[in-house]
């Protein structure tokens, strides 16, 4: 989807705070309320805006530990992947899950309360699916985190 400067400004404003009214957004990007509303509806219909959510502070929710888990496996069948994906989807603590290229087959990001909580999640996962190598790295400090997608009106 090609974006113009107004699209970028409007989408950037929505990513920063989706609770703003259409009038507030329209004033910010210098559009009429109707034109602003039509653009937002167009973004939703095109699938550019996939949802609007409230972002929670993980520490205040009791999940202040971020764990990055790498997985290597000797299994690469579609059936095995479906079982693994089903097991991971069943773990609320897994907030991101990727199939990777390179030395690591899968990467997961978890939010847990502490190391013991991670251990319980780990044991639950390995009880459901056979894995060759699982390695966890615990984040010491979050230096940058954003949910905003960088946008540009250039080609």
Question: Domain-by-domain residue ranges, the chain?
Answer: 5-46, 65-138
- Are the CB atoms for 26 and 32 separated by under 8 Å? yes
Model pLDDT, residue 118 = 98
pLDDT at 155 over 80: no
pLDDT at 127 over 90: yes
Percent of the chain with pLDDT over 90: 94
- Are the CB atoms for 84 and 105 separated by under 8 Å? no
Which tops the pLDDT comparison, 1 or 72? 72
* Residue from 24, 55, 44, 23 nearest 145 by CA: 55
pLDDT at 1 over 90: no
Residues 29-55, mean pLDDT to the nearest whole number: 97
Beta strands at 133-138 and 94-99: parallel, antiparallel or unpaired: unpaired
Residues 27-51, mean pLDDT to the nearest whole number: 97
Spelled out in words, what is the top-level CATH class assigned to the domain 65-138? alpha beta
CA–CA gap between residue 147 and residue 26 (Å, rounded): 22
Q: pLDDT digit string (tens) for 98-126?
A: 999 999 999 999 999 999 999 999 999 99
pTM over 0.85: yes
Fold of 5-46: Arc Repressor Mutant, subunit A (1.10.10)
Model pLDDT, residue 76 = 87
């Amino acid at each position: 989807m090609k974006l113009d400067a107004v699209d970028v400004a409007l989408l950037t404003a929505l990513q920063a705070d989706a609770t703003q009214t259409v009038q507030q957004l329209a004033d910010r990007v210098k559009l009429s309320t109707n034109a602003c509303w039509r653009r937002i509806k167009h973004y939703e219909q095109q699938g550019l805006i996939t949802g609007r959510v409230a972002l929670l502070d993980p520490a205040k929710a009791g999940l202040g530990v971020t764990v990055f888990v790498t997985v290597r496996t000797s299994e690469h069948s579609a059936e095995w992947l479906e079982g693994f994906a089903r097991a991971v989807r069943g773990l609320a603590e897994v907030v991101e899950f990727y199939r990777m290229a390179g030395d690591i087959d899968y990467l997961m990001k978890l939010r847990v309360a502490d190391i013991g909580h991670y251990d319980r999640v780990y044991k639950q996962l390995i009880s459901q699916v056979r894995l060759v190598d699982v390695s966890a790295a615990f984040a010491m400090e979050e230096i940058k985190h954003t949910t905003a997608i960088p946008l540009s009106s250039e080609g």
